[in-house]
Structures are given as structure tokens and as C-alpha cells.
Amino acid sequence: MDEKDLNLTPEDFEPLPEGAAQDNEKISGPSLSFGQNVWLRFKQRKAAVISAVVIILMVLVAFGSTPFINKSTLVRSHPEYANLPAKVPGLDAINGLNGKIKQNGQWVDAYAQNNVPKDKYFIAGTDYLGRSLAQRIIYGTKVSLIVALVAAFFDLTLGVFYGIVSGWKGGGVDNVLQRIIEIISSVPNLIIVVLMLVVLHPGITSIILAIAISSWTTMARQVRAETLSLKNEEYVLAARSLGESGWKIAWKHLVPNLSSIIIIQTMYTIPSAIFFEAFLSFIGIGITAPETSLGVLLNEGQKNFQFLPYQMWYPAIVLCILMIAFNLLGDGLRDAFDPRGQK
Amino acid sequence: MTKYLLKRIFYMILTLFLVATITFFLMKFMPGSPYANEEKLTPQQIHIMNEQYGLNKPLIVQYLLYLGGMLHGDFGTSFQYSNQPVSSLIAARLGASVQLGLQALIVGVILGVIIGSIAAMKQGTWVDSTATVIAIIGKSVPNFVLAVLLQYYIGLKLGWFSIAGWGDFSQTILPTIALSVGPLAETARFIRTSMVDTLSSDYIELGKAKGLSRMEVIRKHAMRNSFIPLVTLIGPYAVALMTGSMVIENIFNIPGIGEQFVKSILTNDYPTIMGVTMVYCIGLVVILLITDIIYGLIDPRIRLAGGEA
Amino acid sequence: MPERILDVKNLKIDFHTYAGEVKAIRDVSFHLNQGETLAIVGESGSGKSVTTRSIIGLLAKNAKVMGGEINFHGKNLLSLSEKEWQKIRGNEIAMIFQDPMTSLDPTMKIGQQIAEPLIKHKGVSKKEAWKKALEMMKAVGIPNAEERINQYPHQFSGGMRQRIVIAIALICEPEILLADEPTTALDVTVQAEILDLMKDLQKRVKTSIIFITHDLGVVAGMADRVAVMYAGEFLEYGTVDDIFYNPQHPYTWGLINSMPTLESEKLEAIPGTPPDLLDPPKGDPFAPRNAYAMRIDVERKPPFFQVSPTHFAATWLLAPGAPEVEPPLEIQRRWKKFKAMQASADKGE
């Protein structure tokens, strides 16, 4: 470097005033709490956000409809409206949604055939007793959601409690509790549920109980494993050496740090509980008529599937949307809580 | 290793004993009579039948006889199919269920591994997204819904495969597909995550630094490391297949053990329910044990840790 | 004049991130002489790992070379195809990674892992390669090599695993060995053994080493020349003596001053954090943390001023007309020692 080319002036070498350049402790971005970070990452996952919205809508519709759609409205049968296809106001052009149904290769107006009043619309058609399928699906969705919520509740209480106790106490207690879980887990859930259903009489209460009681072991195992590792974290050791009581530590330090595992596991318990209810009701050993659930509707729809495919398609679609939404939400939350898995 | 195995086998037996005991007493306290159309029977007939089934002996004797019989593979006599031992009823139907389960497992795992691996290698591309969508749908759509759709649209409308029954291979195709979707989706998700993890590990980087091509690194280092943990999923798969077989066998009218189980539950055939329950539990504990042994054999880390314990 | 085996010119590398283009390497030039050890020193994030990774063609997917050349035997490595890279990696240029606990494939026998590059590059039979692998294991000081060649990584300690990684890197007798903080993850006592081993093997295999570290203490015993890197740029480079006893850049002063010595009562930290490379400073990148900063430091990037034929530093303090400043006491002490060393060297001649 030819030093004459530098064109330096004495002013260049003036020291910088104190503090002018020394903003070196400035932190360039606002720091975010763990929760805020999770929320930011969650928001980026469109599929999960849409799923959350879908689930909220389904919950609102299912539970909000209770005054209009309940056991007393659903038992009323209208044989004169039996097996009508869907008829949605304003969709006269779309076969299948305009009250027409395919019979022997021809689209026939089932409403006209059965002399249904002109202003009568069943947006998802009717079942073999002339009950509105839309109403029954909404009611069935509510049952599925209740089953899911109770299973989640058992996960959050029994599963979490069992896991924390097992992991935190360690030693002999842990050993005994783990052997018990090991024994329960080597019996297929199905068997536990079926045995309970055989003993209790089939119905909503027994199916909820059966699913809830068989579903918490995975949660307990995961919480225990995490508790074991958290137990030796320094902040927990610090709290212990400061003489905080075990339960206070569990509540103040463990539960917040376990929250991601707990939330993610709950999100996986829910669809499996929904599946189990539908499955058991479908094969006829879960909820049975006159009670309704998505599984019952699928069971009834399947019998007539060849002629009235819509009776199975609609509840199937709702069930699948529910399952997909919970699975996607679970995945989205998992990714949001665990940034290592990020793409 | 031997000590560990003995311990495992002890717990297996304990589990089976507890399950047997619990099912026995649950069934004993069940309300209602085991006999179909009981009202038509005279007290005398009921007495004779109770004698025949050993139901008039003290409970504890019945229990011990039941346990003793089970050791010889005798699960008692079915209430529904008069005079037919539960064991022969199950034996006659086990073959179809096992065949269906194995076919579904093989198809599901192989396709799942392929889809999951490709998704991981093409991480972030449309191939990956497609695989993720397939996996989510496969996980979310209940297999019995899929079974009904396959049966109607592919079996009946297109007429490609037989829609029901059990005998020749073409009859197994639709139920196999329906049953394999669950394991397929689960495997694809698992392998994708496992492979992505492995591909970002330091030893893969070292493999590249050795001058191996991407495919060589994947073949020599990534595959084994990301496939080995799949062994741990075999237990859960077995459970899913048992559950699935109940409904799939029903839909496709397959004379398997799952279909029998549903029938027994609906008809209060307690000896058969107990028998099938025991067969399912024995199947699962044996599978879990074998899985453990296989895992120890193929993963050097576990092999040696087990050896030292 | 020693032969230049590697010549890096004006290397520029960007990282594409969600936040924007991170200018990780900004115009870096250096060379590596045959048989020498060049240490690149800097804090984490200074770009030293990125620089070495670009030499073996293993940059992260989101990294992009924006300009420059890396000349190796007259070939510009940056223009190689993936196929050509594969012939060089592990063969002519090898690399040792930081963490020996995760660098080895947990499910493959170590004999096979050591033999792998040999089979790939030299086309020798598997049996031959294992024989060489066994020799290599003995050379890196693994006891009971005959027996242990069939074992798996988890059966080895961290120090032993790093020896295995070194054996893998050196089995093809590469011309250049890139060592990315090879001792950082190890216990202090094991660190010294590994460094000795590397020096020893360097003589035997006649390889040149680029050694990356954030620990100046490791550099003194290991390197022939040292380059100080900061915020994606080189600030100063020279022989070990130049850098340790005659440092010129205030950042180098800071680094040396923060090394613990027997006399120091408290450790001097360099205040502040490195600049954000999304929007790199236009002047001297160290200026915001520099107690000696002048107006020109924030306005213009300093060129390299020659201190001696082997020693260059990019600081305006060396410009003609720049004011004399008083460096920290430890540095003044070292300068005195440097003068004494030179005087005695002159006398010796």
C-alpha cells in the first residue's frame, strides 16, 4: 500500500468523544420470553394456525348448539322425510346438494318424490328415520369432543401427577410406579377398553371412562423422563438447596418446564381418543343407538353406503377434518416448542 | 444380558397372570347369563349346563382350574358354539389374522421407510411437503373409513379386487391396504424425523469430509443410524394392527381372531373374550420381548451396555 | 522462500437467513506455506470456521461464496464440481471437527471408519485398508489397537475418539489438515496430549495445518504463524512472536490482555459484542469496542500496514501521522521483551 495515497488529515486521527462509539452493550433486538418465541414460531405455521381456527369453530358450533340440538330434539323421527339427500338453499345447480340423488344412473329429486314441502331444507340430508343428518353430525362431534376433553383431562391430571411423583421421588417409589406402568402398557389399550365396556354398560359415560383410564400412561412416562432430567438441572438443585419444599418446586419449576411436553402429548392424546370412540362405536361396542356419535353415524351410514353414500361421507369428512386438525395442531405446537426441529 | 432377559420374562409372566386374574373375575361378576335364550331353559337344564361348564363349583376352584387349563393352552369352552373349545376356535382363526397383520406391517413399513427417507433427503422441497401431507392424512383418516371406501369404490365399482372373504391372495389386497395405512404414515413421519436428525449430525459431516458422495454417506452412515430406532415402533404397530384387525376383518368378512372378538363381545361369550384377550396379551408381550432382543442385537451401543449390566 | 500450498484471495461469503444476508466473510486473503501451521484466532462467530469449511467445500446450504479464489496447486477450489471436490476431500485436504463425541458413526466399527477414506481414494482392498488403519491407530497412540479396531465409538473416551478422528483425517496423508477447535471439547490434560500428537504427526506425514481456535494459549505452542480474525475479516497476521510480543491492533491487545497470566490479578475482558454482520460497519469493525478508536476508524476501513516482512496489521494507528497511543501495560511489557529478543537475535547474527 502506497502510504501517500491515503490522503489522511490530522482531523482523522482525533479520538472519538467518550461514549460516541461505545454503545457496545446495546442489545440490537428486543429479547423475547419463551412464550413469545413459541407464539411467534407457531404463527409461522399456517397449517397449524388454520387447524386451531377450525377446532375453535367446531367447538363453538358443537357446544353452542346445545339449546337447539340435544337429546330431545334428536329422538324425534320423521319417517316422511327419511333418507333425503342434502339440499342447500341457493345450490340448485349442484347435483347432490340440491335434493337430487342418483337412482339407477339418473338424478332424481328425492324431495319432490317424497312430497317434502318446498321450503324444507336439510343441508346434509336425513337419516333412515328422517332426522337431520347435519344436526346429528353436530351432536356427534360434540360427543367426540367431550370424549377427547375427558381423555385430555385424565392425561393432564393423573398422567402428569403420576409422572412427576415417579420422576421426582425416584428410588423405590419410582421403581414400583414404573413396574405398574410397564404392566399396564404391555396390555393393549384395546383390551382394557373392551373389558371395561363389557363390564360397564355401553354408553357415553362408560366409553369416556374406558378411554380416559387407558390413555394416560404415555403421558406419565414422558413426564417422568423429563422430570428425571429436570431434577438435576442447576436451578432445581439451587431451589432445593435453598430449602424449598418438594411440592413448591414441582409447581414453580417443574410444571412450567414440563409444559411443552405436556401440551404436545395432550395434543396427541386427543385425536387418538376421538379415533377410539369412533372405532368402538363403529363396530357396535361403544356408543349405540339411540345415542349418537360420529362412530354411530359412520356405522349407520356404512349399512346404506351403496345407495345413500352421503350418509357415510358427511360424518366421515367431519371426523377426518377433526383428526387432521388436531394432528396438524399437535405438529405445529411441537415444532413451535422445539425449535431444533425447524426447517 | 441373561439376567436382564430373565427379569423381563418374569415381568411378562406376572403381567399375563394379572391379566388372566383380572379378566377372570371381571367376567365372573358380569350380570346376566351366559346362555343365549335363557328364558326358554328349565332350571334343570341350566343346572346341567352349569355342571357341564363347571360353573357350579366354588369360585376359587373355578379360578384355579382356569389358570391350570390355560397352562395347557385350554381356555375353556365357548358359550356360543356349543362344545367347541375356545382354543380350537382361536387356533382356526389365528392364521388369517397373523397373515393379514404381517402383510400390512411389511407393506406399511417398507413404503413408510421409502417415503420418509426421500422426504428427509429432499427436505424443504415439494417432495417433502407431499410426503408430509400423505403422512398426516394417513394418520388422520381412520382405517375403517378407508376400508369402506376402498371396498366400495375399488372393489365394487372398479371391480379390481375381491370385496370380501378369505381364501386367495386377491382377497387380501384391499384389507392389507386399509390396515397398512396407519403403520405407513407413522413410519414415514418417524423415518423423516430420524433421518433429518441423522443427516445433520457431525459424523455425516465427517463422512462428507472423508470425500464420500452424498449417496455414499447416506448409504453407509445415515441409513443404518436412522432405521435402527424403528425397531422400537414394532410394539405399538402390533397393538394398532390388533385394533385394526377387529374392524377390518369385520368389514371384509375375514374369518380372523379380531372378527371373532367383536362377535364374542356382542354375544357375551365370556370364555372366548377371555381367551382372545389372553392371546392378544401373550402376542404383545412376546413381540415386545423380541423387539428388545432385536434392538440389542443391531445397535452396538445397547448390545454392550446390556452385556455389562 | 517456502512454497505456498494454499492461497486464499479476497474471499467473500454470505449467509442467507430470514433476517437478510449475513456477510460472514468479508474480503479475506491469506496463504498457507508448505509444512507450516497457521492458527486462525477469533471469538465465536468471527468467521474462522466458515473460512476453513470453504477450503474443504463443506459450507452450509444457505452459504454463498460471493467472490474470491482459493488456489490449491494452481486450481481454484471454488470452481470445482462436486465430483472433483470428492476427490480432494479426505484425500488431499482433510478436516478434524470440534466434538469427538459426535464425530464418529455410533454404529460402525472404528476400524472401518478409519479405513473408509483409504478405500475410497486409494482404491486399496478392504484387508489392506484395515492393515493401514491398524498402523494408524498405533501411530495416534491407541493402546491395544489390534483388539480395539473392532470396537464401536462409545467404547472410547473423548481423547481416544479425537485420536481416532485424527487417524481418519491423516490416513490418506493429506497435504492440508484443517483442525476446527480440535481440543476445545477435551479435558485440559488431554488437550496437551492431542496437540503434541498433532505436532508429531505433522512432521511424519509432512502436512500443513490450519488450526482454528479461540484460545490464544493453545496457539503459542502449536502454530508457526497466527492470523487474528474478527467480524469476518483478518485484523492482523504474523509469526507467533510478532503477534504475541509485538501486537499492533487494539483487538489483538485485547485478546492478549484477556489471557490469564501468573501475575494478573484480574482478567481483562473486552467490553461489548461483535458487530451485527447483517449490516457490517464500514470502517474498522472493532471500532465500537475500541478504547483507542479515532474518527477515521468509523469512517474508513484501514488497509494492511506492514510492520515487518512477516507482520501486517489493519489499524489506522499504524498510518503515517497517527498519534502515538499507550497500549495496556501487559502489551508494553511484551513490546519491551520483543525489542530485547530482536536485539539478542541481531547480536547472534
* C157 φ/ψ angles, rounded to the nearest 5 degrees: -75, 170
| Distance from the A47 Cα atom to the nearest Cα atom in chain C, whole angstroms | 20
Higher pLDDT, A221 or A255: A221
Task: Lowest mean pLDDT of A157-166, B69-78, C82-91, C284-293, name the range.
Answer: B69-78
Is C66:C74 a contact under the CB 8 Å cutoff? no
Domain boundaries, chain A: 46-75+133-341
Q: With an 8 Å Cβ cutoff, are C107 and B211 in contact?
A: no
Residue A341's pLDDT is 43
Is the pLDDT at C80 greater than 80, yes or no? yes
How far is Cα B196 from Cα B204, in angstroms, rounded to an integer? 11
Task: Lowest mean pLDDT of C238-252, C274-288, C302-316, name the range.
Answer: C274-288
The residues near B64 (Cβ < 8 Å, ≥ 6 apart) are: none
Q: Does C335 touch chain A (CB under 8 A)?
A: no
Please give the helix or strand (H or E) that residue A47 lies within, else none.
helix A46-64
How far is Cα A156 from Cα A259, in angstroms, rounded to an integer? 10
Nearest to C56 by CA among B207, B120, B196: B207
- Among B203, B221, B227, B299, pick the best mutation site for testing chain C contact (most C Cβ within 10 A): B203
When pLDDT is averaged across residues B204-227 and rounded to a whole number, the result is: 91
The angle at the Cα of A201, spanning A198 to A203, to the nearest 5 degrees, equals: 115
Domain boundaries, chain C: 4-223, 227-348
Residue A11's pLDDT is 74
The angle at the Cα of B284, spanning B53 to B5, to the nearest 5 degrees, equals: 110
Residue A343's pLDDT is 34
Is C298:C287 a contact under the CB 8 Å cutoff? yes
The DSSP bridge partners found for residue A132 are A126
Higher pLDDT, B17 or A80: B17
Residue A174's pLDDT is 87
- From the list A8, A16, A24, the residue facing C319 with the nearest CB is A8
Query: To the nearest whole number, what is the mean pLDDT of chain C?
Result: 87
* A134 φ/ψ angles, rounded to the nearest 5 degrees: -60, -45
Query: To the nearest whole number, what is the mean pLDDT of chain A?
Result: 78
Q: With an 8 Å Cβ cutoff, are A16 and C323 in contact?
A: no
Task: Lowest mean pLDDT of A284-293, C90-99, C246-255, name the range.
Answer: A284-293
Percent of all residues in chain C with a pLDDT value above 90, rounded to a whole number: 36
Is the pLDDT at C176 greater than 90, yes or no? yes
- What is the sign, positive or negative, of the torsion defined by CA atoms of A94, A96, A100, A105? positive
Count CB neighbours of A28 within 10 A.
9
The DSSP bridge partners found for residue B253 are none
- Among A1, A4, A44, pick the best mutation site for testing chain C contact (most C Cβ within 10 A): A1
Task: Give the Å distances, CA to CA, from C112 to B212, B280, C104, C148, C164.
Answer: 14, 43, 11, 12, 11
Sequential DSSP letters for B50-110: HHHHTTTS-HHHHHHHHHHHHHTT---B-SSSTT-BHHHHHHHHHHHHHHHHHHHHHHHHH
Higher pLDDT, A242 or B125: B125
When pLDDT is averaged across residues B45-72 and rounded to a whole number, the result is: 77
Is the pLDDT at A1 greater than 50, yes or no? no
Task: Reply yes or no on domain C4-223 having CATH 3.20.20.70.
Answer: no
Amino acid identity, position A56: I
Is A318:A137 a contact under the CB 8 Å cutoff? yes
* CATH number of the B90-303 domain: 1.10.3720.10
- From the list B27, B136, B273, the residue facing A328 with the nearest CB is B136
| Distance from the A284 Cα atom to the nearest Cα atom in chain B, whole angstroms | 8
Q: With an 8 Å Cβ cutoff, are C105 and B211 in contact?
A: no
Amino acid identity, position A285: I
If 0-12 CB within 10 Å is exposed, 13-18 middle and 19+ buried, where does residue C322 land?
A: middle
Task: Express each pLDDT in C136-162 by its tens digit.
Answer: 999 888 999 899 999 999 899 888 999
When pLDDT is averaged across residues B179-186 and rounded to a whole number, the result is: 92
Amino acid identity, position C136: M
Is C208:C37 a contact under the CB 8 Å cutoff? yes
Residues in chain C with CB shorter than 8 Å from the CB of A25 are 271-273
Is the pLDDT at B12 greater than 90, yes or no? no
- Among A22, A26, A40, pick the best mutation site for testing chain C contact (most C Cβ within 10 A): A22
Q: Is A332 helix (H, G, I), strand (E, B) or coil?
A: helix
- The per-type count for chain C, helices as H runs and strands as E runs, is 13, 12
Q: Is B127 helix (H, G, I), strand (E, B) or coil?
A: helix
The angle at the Cα of C164, spanning C159 to C168, to the nearest 5 degrees, equals: 145
Q: Is C94 helix (H, G, I), strand (E, B) or coil?
A: strand
Measured between its terminal Cα atoms, the distance across chain B in Å is: 7
Count CB neighbours of A66 within 10 A.
11
Neighbours of chain A (3+ CB pairs under 8 A): B, C
The DSSP bridge partners found for residue A100 are A109
Residue A156's pLDDT is 87
Task: Express each pLDDT in C211-238 by its tens digit.
Answer: 998 888 888 888 999 999 998 899 999 9
Is B258:A283 a contact under the CB 8 Å cutoff? no
Nearest to B217 by CA among B228, B200, B230, B204: B204
Q: With an 8 Å Cβ cutoff, are B211 and C58 in contact?
A: no
ipTM: 0.84
How far is Cα C215 from Cα A13, in angstroms, rounded to an integer? 32
Is the pLDDT at B306 greater than 50, yes or no? no
- From the list B208, B212, B225, the residue facing C106 with the nearest CB is B225
Q: What confidence category does residue B288 fall into, taking pLDDT thresholds of 50, 70 and 90?
A: confident
Is the pLDDT at C264 greater than 70, yes or no? no
Domain boundaries, chain B: 1-87, 90-303
Q: Per CATH, the architecture of C227-348 is what?
A: 3-Layer(aba) Sandwich (3.40)
Q: What confidence category does residue B185 fall into, taking pLDDT thresholds of 50, 70 and 90?
A: very high
- What is the sign, positive or negative, of the torsion defined by CA atoms of B81, B86, B88, B93? positive
Residue C10's pLDDT is 92
SS3 content of chain B, % helix, strand, coil (to 5): 80, 0, 20
| Alpha-carbon dihedral A301, A307, A310, A315, rounded to 10 degrees | 10
| Distance from the C65 Cα atom to the nearest Cα atom in chain B, whole angstroms | 19
Residue A14's pLDDT is 76
Q: Is A109 helix (H, G, I), strand (E, B) or coil?
A: strand
Nearest to A274 by CA among A113, A55, A117, A110: A55
* DSSP-derived pairing of the beta strands C20-33 and C4-17: antiparallel
Count CB neighbours of C261 within 10 A.
10
The angle at the Cα of C331, spanning C326 to C333, to the nearest 5 degrees, equals: 105
* A168 φ/ψ angles, rounded to the nearest 5 degrees: -75, -45
Residue A342's pLDDT is 38
Report the topology of domain A46-75+133-341.
MetI-like fold (1.10.3720)
Residue B309's pLDDT is 30
Chain B residue with the nearest C-alpha to that of C52? B209
Q: Does C165 touch chain A (CB under 8 A)?
A: no
Q: Is A273 helix (H, G, I), strand (E, B) or coil?
A: helix
The residues near C349 (Cβ < 8 Å, ≥ 6 apart) are: none
How far is Cα A314 from Cα A302, in angstroms, rounded to an integer? 11
Higher pLDDT, A57 or C217: A57
| Distance from the C86 Cα atom to the nearest Cα atom in chain A, whole angstroms | 27
